[in-house]
Structure 1
């Protein structure tokens, strides 16, 4: 993590569109690395950054069933009302993918 800290502090704008299809914040959500997700958010990454398809990290966590990631992202200011084309929100993605505990959490706004 020391190298990542150095990159964030001195070299890289982690929210910058790098040309890759996925922002750095989305990687720990995809791979279930809660510690890295928290680290990146604590480093100041934008919790609402979108990938090339319009997904936020919260949408990805909701779709794939990572309640811990959803909670961390929400506590860090992720906006559950952001829409992707369709319109799709984190709540609708959770419900349509049968992630009912996440859908309930998002609906209650905890």
Structure 2
């Protein structure tokens, strides 16, 4: 269990944070073995050494911190955890280590973003596969209704979109403003992503809250042909 109180930062604590960020295992070992630094000490933003190490992808440091009882439950002021940080930056080995040590696959930032969402945003396919196989919810949205499939579509990560669709992602799930993943893909101009969504059955006739069809959001002729071909199939 992570201690919720924020202790005043000390020079030794700051040295531990620096060592975790830089992957300096020797210095971190010296500091923790001294008994003068709490493994879960936090800076003014609530960030721990484990978070810093996870964010930077230092898996050896992450494993070492667990030897001293580091908690996976500590949160930064925006709700960030070590698992969320590792997922956001695509550090698969760190994600795997954190999960093995009890990190919560359903952790969310205070805006609702999950580890899967953050990995989808970055296009980290290996992390996404690991999270999904570990029980991550493929359709869990942020508070604004943005699902992992939507953000992957917006970013043009077509292989991520393909995997998520195969794992049951809702192809027509819309944000709070009514825009679907197909709207997002069309706006991004990623032809492969648009094609994947349409092949999976995404509806080109869905309108957002501004009453716009996906086809009304682009002048790209290849995308327009794709959309019109699917509209024709639906009508027939």
TM-score range, shorter chain: 0.7 to 0.9
**2 CA distance for matches of 1:13 and 1:20?**
16
Larger Rg: 2
Task: For CA contacts below 8 A with separation 6 or more, give which structure has more relative contact order.
Answer: 1
Whole-angstrom CA distance in 2 between matches of 1:41 and 1:66:
17
> Does 1:3 pair with 2:4?
no
Q: In structure 2, what is the equivalent of residue 68 of structure 1? A: 93
Partner residue of 2:44 out of 12, 15, 19: 19
Q: Per the alignment, in what secondary structure is the counterpart of residue 11 of structure 1? A: coil
- Aligned residue among 92, 98, 104 for 2:117: 92
Unaligned runs of 5+ in 1: none
Q: Root-mean-square deviation (CA), in Å?
A: 1.8
Structure 1 length as normaliser, TM-score? 0.85
Question: How has the CA–CA distance of structure 1 residues 36 and 17 changed in structure 2, closer, same or farther, with 3 Å as cutoff?
Answer: closer
Q: Distance in 1 between matches of 2:111 and 2:45?
A: 23
Report the TM-score, using the length of structure 2 for normalisation: 0.42
Question: How many angstroms apart in 1 are the aligned matches of 2:66 and 2:122?
Answer: 26
Distance 1:87 1:54 in 2: 9
| Residue number in structure 1 paired with 2:83 | 58
Using the alignment, how far apart are the partners of 1:86 and 1:96 within structure 2?
A: 14
> Would you say the 8 A contact 1:62–1:102 is kept in 2?
yes
Which deviates more from structure 2 when the two are superposed, residues 63-72 or residues 13-22?
A: 13-22
- The secondary structure found in structure 1 opposite 2:49 is coil
Cα deviations across residues 13-56 of structure 1 (Å, max 9, x unaligned)? 23244425521111212332211110001210001211222111
Structure 2: 5+ residue stretches without partners: 1-25, 136-236
Pairs aligned (count)? 108
